[in-house]
Amino acid sequence: MNTVFETTYQVLPSVCDADGYLGIGHTFSLFMDLASAHAVDLHIGYYDFLPAGNFWLTVKTQIHFFRRPQMYTFVTLRTWPEQPQALRTDRSYEIWQNGELCASGKTEWAVINLTSGQLIPMEDVFPKGLAFDGATACDTPYARIRTKFDGVEPIGTYTIRSTDIDVGRHMNNAAYVHALLGCLSVEEREKTPITRMDVVFRAQSYEGETLELRAVPTEDGCDYQFSADGTVRFLARMWSAPGESAE
Domain boundary among 126, 156, 171: 126
Query: Using alpha carbons only, what angle is made at residue 30 by residues 60 and 121, rounded to the nearest 5 degrees?
Result: 40
User: Nearest Cα to 214, choosing from 171, 170, 158, 139?
Assistant: 158
Question: How many whole angstroms separate alpha carbon 229 and alpha carbon 20?
Answer: 37
Tell me: the pLDDT tens digits for 210-240?
999 999 999 888 999 999 999 999 999 999 8
- Confirm whether 135 is domain-assigned: no
Domain that holds residue 5: 1-126
Tell me: the pLDDT tens digits for 86-121?
999 999 999 999 999 999 999 999 999 999 999 999
- Confirm whether 45 is domain-assigned: yes
One domain, residues 114 and 161 = no
Tell me: the pLDDT tens digits for 12-65?
999 999 999 999 999 999 999 999 999 999 999 999 999 999 999 999 999 999
User: Nearest Cα to 205, choosing from 222, 226, 188?
Assistant: 226
User: What CATH number should be reported for the domain holding residue 148?
Assistant: 3.10.129.10
- Confirm whether 136 is domain-assigned: no
- Confirm whether 138 is domain-assigned: no
One domain, residues 108 and 149 = no
One domain, residues 2 and 121 = yes
